[in-house]
Amino acid sequence: MNLKQLDDVNHQLLRRWGGSSTQPVIVVDVDAQTHTLESRQRESAVVGPNRKKRGKPCVQLHVAFICHEAVAQKLVAGNTHCRRVLLELLSAVSDKLKTDLTIVRLDGGYLAGQILSALIARHLQRILACRYDWVLSQGVVLSPQKWQRIDETTRFYDVGRTTVISTCKHPLRVVLVEKKQTPLEGSKSRRKLIRYGIAENLAFCLDAKGVHDFYHGRQTIEQFFKESTGPFSAGKMPSQKFRANEAYLQ
């Protein structure tokens, strides 16, 4: 059974039992997981952006989710940038569902002028994380009175429409987030202040907290990856062959 057949089986299961093909608004979440391999003799196992085990050879599994279901996936070499896989995955999802996609939710790794321009050309609504300092570098001046405090640890600033990256002049609405991260009890880590932005061009109106909550709906992806490497042993590649490992993950 080849990869195409395995993918067709997954697609038929989703159509029969899943909810991804019946959503009135198609929201696609895309993310990637790094799989560390101990041997460079495995096909496409190369040193790449491996946060947990720096300098180790790895491969990357990129997955597109709808309604928390893995609709399309692709295994690539460890040094492949996530932006190179994004548009291919979106095309695969659109072909499977036989409909146009509506909204794409992405993390900050996908932020690039080329990607934003491609999403604009496809008429896709998008919501993605962006660098806090990149937003300020566009000439944004913050007024202390306009911060909205949600609780003791989190506050938002609705910037309005602005450019978020110099290589794409198309403006997006931006919400800045400041969150104080409290370390776990007994930890020696210090309390950190996390700053980031969320940029969007959604066709419906949300307040600053609504933008934050809608974007973070994609965090269920992390649970998928934890389950795949835990109970399903996705981190233990059984073969030296790249395509055999891709079939195993499928």
Total number of domains in the chain: 1
pLDDT of 187: 64
Q: In 86-110, which positions are buried (b, 16+ CB within 10 angstroms) versus exposed (e)?
A: beebbebbbebbeeebbbbbbbebb
From 192, 174, 168, select the one nearest 182 (Cα to Cα): 192
pLDDT of 82: 85
Structural domain boundaries enclosing 172: 3-249
Question: If you search the block for the tokens 């990357």, which residue do you land on?
Answer: 60
> Which uninterrupted H or E stretch holds 136?
helix 132-136
Alpha carbon distances (Å) from 23 to 17, 19, 73, 102, 205: 13, 7, 20, 11, 20
Q: What is the pLDDT along the chain (250 residues), one digit of tens a residue?
A: 588 898 898 889 888 898 887 888 899 999 988 888 776 677 877 787 777 777 788 888 999 999 888 999 999 988 888 888 999 999 999 999 888 889 999 999 899 989 999 999 999 999 999 999 999 998 899 999 999 998 889 999 999 999 998 888 889 999 999 998 877 666 666 778 899 999 999 999 999 999 999 999 887 777 888 887 777 777 677 888 888 888 888 8
CA distance 174 to 164: 8
Q: What are phi and psi of 90, to 5 degrees?
A: -65, -40
pLDDT of 40: 63
- Per the document, the length of the chain is 250
pLDDT of 162: 93
Label residue 224 exposed, middle or buried (CB < 10 Å: 0-12, 13-18, 19+): middle
CB 161 within 8 A of CB 217: no
CATH classification of the domain holding 205: 3.90.350.10
CA distance 92 to 108: 22
CB 235 within 8 A of CB 221: no
